Structure 1
């Protein structure tokens, strides 16, 4: 899909557990204004939609605008197949919230909803590290592991709005790690920032060693100093993640993997060994025929992607 860039103003919204990020975007010029408000999760998040609408109205008034073409909203949860309802968003304490209709009825502006990781994937494709590509796997390595799959320029949402939930790929392990989804030994219990820190803590306990603090940056720092335990933990980390991503690559055969989230700040210290691990397990025709890149847009990926999703929806309709 080619985005029509004829002076269209839209708003991208990225709802997070602690803040809601907004951007007023001119499709031909980029972001004109960014702002954010705290996420009010009190009383099961019933005030969030009102506060989104109030913030948008206030900003449009300050810009002298009465209306924009549309609004794209990324949500940290699953979206119904008809694109109207937030099926579940644990961090917001939402279940079956008809957010599209709520916002449209209050503002009189068309709304497009999508999962926040899918939004970030589209953002990186449109304006970020995967610009010019139409087939990619987007991976976020933060508190958990998120993902978005883009095929032929469109997000793979799935029949149950669970497409791209790569953090919940099961991992074979002698351990028994409980995941936030209720499952055991999901990928994100090992391959997230929390999972990496837990693995390091367990490794240190095995040898009765203690560090004053255990965080991913410290683990990478110790590995750079050739600390044997840190090197072993990171090797196990990239092995598990590499196997999972290789399995996805063997299934969808995309041209790029984009890695975002806090752990991506390790740069080549993470991406180089991860690429090597993926290469060990991908199908021969894929080996060395893909790239692994760090995401470029950071916190702007979701708002760009939400806006792009709205533009895609309008052109398809």
Structure 2
């Protein structure tokens, strides 16, 4: 059976394992905290060391590994596998030549995906989306992200940016600052960090999204309980609006909702459905919406799946609609019409 070394680089944890497909069967798993505060170079060194340890452990037991699949926070250049943009969760991560560095360090062919894209592939191919050609994955946790997976490949876009579900505008977030520097986006209101900020503004109480969900589910009506339920209802509806809009544009077979808030208590689930009904056109309004069951390992599954797939003809080169060989490079100035060399 084909095996890949898989590496997941997140803001708080680094994880690596050997993934055997089909299955998936995960072995030799290890994880360490991400040294994010020490900067991008320290994160790269720690990730390389962890991958090297897992690879050595596997080889020592006679387990052959063919490729390395990487799931990383940040925007990933679709051809070069370098990090073009990253948030303050990983200071100094932008600009990291992730693919080239890991290929040099480990001697394996390397494929790098954005972490949400990798998670979406894992869920689509090996999770609750299995058996469907077009799966829209939406992750609602500390932030909000997503990705469209078609025939086992993530649609990453010309710049690697496709899937930023959290940066769709929704009326519930009007006037609220977003992590991208704009206002009125879903993530600024309905993510875990957004819920915390809104609840603090409304009640003066600084509670995490988990604590807010706990208040909403408690059998103690009045006061903070009512405020928590009202906020979860608004957040669910806002998320549903974004999903409904995406159904109109993408028309997937199914939607898979994951992340910590995907299992939030009432009224979040019913409000999610309400938001979808408010925005989705009739032909797509009944698209099944499934709750993720894969957990954190889905990113490892997805990274391994794509790395093995692209290493095997005819998938060695990404399809034009996913990551063309001449994909947009934000460091190269555009050629104006009058400067066209042809």
Alignment TM class, shorter chain as reference:
0.7 to 0.9
Query: 2:247 aligned with 1:249, yes or no?
Result: yes
Query: 2:175 aligned with 1:179, yes or no?
Result: no
Which residue is equivalent to 2:334?
none
Which residue is equivalent to 1:311?
308
Which residue is equivalent to 2:44?
49
> Do the aligned partners of 1:72 and 1:113 also contact (CA within 8 Å) in 2?
yes
Number of aligned residues: 306
Which residue is equivalent to 2:216?
220
What does residue range 25-40 of structure 1 map to in structure 2 within 5 Å?
25-29=19-23, 30-40=25-35
- CA change 1:197–1:48 in 2 (3 A) is closer
> Do the aligned partners of 2:190 and 2:235 also contact (CA within 8 Å) in 1?
yes
Residue 230 of structure 1 and its aligned partner are, at CA, apart by: 3.5
Residue 294 of structure 1 and its aligned partner are, at CA, apart by: 1.4
> Do the aligned partners of 1:14 and 1:302 also contact (CA within 8 Å) in 2?
yes
- CA change 1:122–1:224 in 2 (3 A) is farther
**Whole-Å separation in 1 of the counterparts to 2:105 and 2:277:** 50
Residue 236 of structure 1 and its aligned partner are, at CA, apart by: 1.9
Which residue is equivalent to 1:87?
84
Which residue is equivalent to 2:271?
273
Aligned to 2:94, what secondary structure does the other structure show?
strand
**TM-score, normalised by the number of residues in structure 1:** 0.87
Q: 5+ residue gaps in structure 1? A: 1-6
**Whole-Å separation in 1 of the counterparts to 2:266 and 2:70:** 32
**Whole-Å separation in 2 of the counterparts to 1:159 and 1:140:** 22
**Whole-Å separation in 1 of the counterparts to 2:208 and 2:295:** 26
**Whole-Å separation in 2 of the counterparts to 1:49 and 1:124:** 26
Which residue is equivalent to 1:18?
12
Aligned to 1:164, what secondary structure does the other structure show?
coil
Structure 1 stretch displaced more, 86-95 or 218-227 = 218-227
**Whole-Å separation in 1 of the counterparts to 2:208 and 2:304:** 40
**TM-score, normalised by the number of residues in structure 2:** 0.81
Q: 5+ residue gaps in structure 2? A: 317-342
Question: Over residues 54-95 of structure 1, what are the superposed CA-to-partner deviations in whole Å (9 max), with x where a residue is unaligned?
Answer: 323323333314851001101111011314211122222212
Residue 187 of structure 1 and its aligned partner are, at CA, apart by: 0.9
Which residue is equivalent to 1:239?
237
Aligned to 2:311, what secondary structure does the other structure show?
helix
> Do the aligned partners of 1:264 and 1:294 also contact (CA within 8 Å) in 2?
yes
Aligned to 1:298, what secondary structure does the other structure show?
coil
Structure 1 stretch displaced more, 67-76 or 225-234 = 225-234
Q: CA RMSD in A?
A: 2.5
- CA change 1:293–1:220 in 2 (3 A) is farther
